[in-house]
Structure 1
């Protein structure tokens, strides 16, 4: 994904929004971490912001870049404990999400805070509609399942997070074409990660999808797409 982020105009609005939200939460909770683990901070922006707050930062990822440690979020973490663990945009593609949340909790010192933000179930309604229109009578699974607020709360209870909080917010982004939306999704690592890939869309099916997407446009020729950001937070008692 870092290669996709190389162009200066590459879309990164999802992670930017998550980072701003995390920093706001830390300020609101008056939590000043001294030793934080960051997962999925592919731009390094959150690491820089926490370093400015005198926080020692460890960055990790399943596909580590320079200065990052390798991490399998579905396995116990192979390094120490932290007073803050933050995951950005990764948990929506995890098979064992309850287990991943347990590992986040276990990586915390007592009294430590965990925050996980990722794209939730209310996202991409226009794209979903366009794909259904293109598939016709034989709809295929083209977008991996997502978690909603209710399921998020149940997951935190199973994972044993103390004082759990689950909330969501929506970002609306306006597009002139379906192709530009797809470009933005790919640039931000939001493509289909299902192990069984659906049959590829034919050129005719792609045109049906584009037409359906454009038909939802407002008077200015832009179609509004929604990204729901789900955030889970809690403590280790």
Structure 2
């Protein structure tokens, strides 16, 4: 694990906590509701009970309101309000760790994954969803073009996001067995880019980068951004598109009962043979 204080500090966690507290009474939760429903479905496919469970840093009240029918007890660990990202979890104290829409704001994600791996009992499961990939690519491009045009330069407006392949590598480095990652792409339509930004504020997800520009956003730049967004990313009916890539993460604490990968060279059939056995159809392409 990265030693405390050595990981780059990308996010202003006190500012993020302040913004999330501010919207707690009336948050925009459509993404969280979608993720919570998917977590319930994915847990239903796991044929084993979970007793000692924890929800790590899910915003607001966490996942408990959504999963009470699936998990009788789910401890919610609130996100830290300082740069200290150590988890209050004892070694091998849990058999399930969940998290929804929180890991994208972690400064030391490799270190956090190692902490979770140590907190899981053998054959314990981590199941998490985080924002990543091409999320808000339309907003990034529109802001960059507007700032270059109106202000002669570009400042960081949207946080850097993890790539699917990078996350898979981090799970392996942290010592998880049977790591799996996949992406759920959600495209949401808005009347304008300003409507999208209002939703981001209600999520408490506006710019919390340490290196953000500290001067207020100029109105002219904001309006030009909205114009560029509409020019480049509007559907024929005039509504604009916003992409959210939800990266799903799962991995198990190693246990002797788990399926082991085959040793190199031990396969009894070639890939060419396997491919030839798979019927191919262009129907529906």
The Cα offsets for residues 139-192 of structure 1, whole Å up to 9 and x where unpaired, read as 111111110111111111111111100111101100111111111112112222
CA drift of 1:60 comes to 0.9
The secondary structure found in structure 1 opposite 2:63 is: helix
Report the counterpart of residue 51 of structure 1 in structure 2. 68
Report the counterpart of residue 67 of structure 1 in structure 2. none
CA drift of 1:132 comes to 0.8
**Could you tell me how far apart the structure 2 residues matched to 1:50 and 1:223 are?**
33
**Could you tell me how far apart the structure 1 residues matched to 2:145 and 2:41 are?**
40
Aligned CA distance change for structure 1 residues 183 and 49 (closer, same or farther; 3 Å):
closer
Report the counterpart of residue 100 of structure 2 in structure 1. 88
Report the counterpart of residue 179 of structure 1 in structure 2. 194
Structure 1 residue runs of 5 or longer lacking an equivalent are 65-70
Report the counterpart of residue 97 of structure 1 in structure 2. 109
The secondary structure found in structure 2 opposite 1:56 is: coil
The secondary structure found in structure 2 opposite 1:128 is: helix
Is 2:221 the partner of 1:209? no
The Cα offsets for residues 72-116 of structure 1, whole Å up to 9 and x where unpaired, read as 873243457111001111111111110001111112111110012
Tell me which moved more, 35-44 or 187-196.
35-44
**Could you tell me how far apart the structure 2 residues matched to 1:193 and 1:45 are?**
20
Is 2:23 the partner of 1:4? yes
Report the counterpart of residue 68 of structure 1 in structure 2. none
Aligned CA distance change for structure 1 residues 73 and 235 (closer, same or farther; 3 Å):
farther
**Could you tell me how far apart the structure 1 residues matched to 2:196 and 2:247 are?**
20
Task: Give the TM-score normalised by structure 2.
Answer: 0.74
**Could you tell me how far apart the structure 2 residues matched to 1:17 and 1:87 are?**
13
**Could you tell me how far apart the structure 2 residues matched to 1:130 and 1:221 are?**
16
The Cα offsets for residues 184-209 of structure 1, whole Å up to 9 and x where unpaired, read as 11211222221122254312111110
Task: Give the TM-score normalised by structure 1.
Answer: 0.88
Aligned CA distance change for structure 1 residues 82 and 73 (closer, same or farther; 3 Å):
farther
- Poorly superposed stretches of 4+, deviation over 6 Å: none
Report the counterpart of residue 61 of structure 1 in structure 2. 78
Report the counterpart of residue 15 of structure 1 in structure 2. 32
Report the counterpart of residue 242 of structure 2 in structure 1. 225
For the aligned residue pairs, the C-alpha RMSD in angstroms reads 2.2
Structure 2 residue runs of 5 or longer lacking an equivalent are 1-19, 255-285
* 1:35–1:55 CA contact under 8 A, matched in 2: no
Q: Which has the larger radius of gyration?
A: 2
**Could you tell me how far apart the structure 1 residues matched to 2:136 and 2:171 are?**
25
CA drift of 1:228 comes to 0.2
Is 2:127 the partner of 1:111? no
Q: How many residues align?
A: 229
CA drift of 1:2 comes to 4.5
Higher strand share: 1
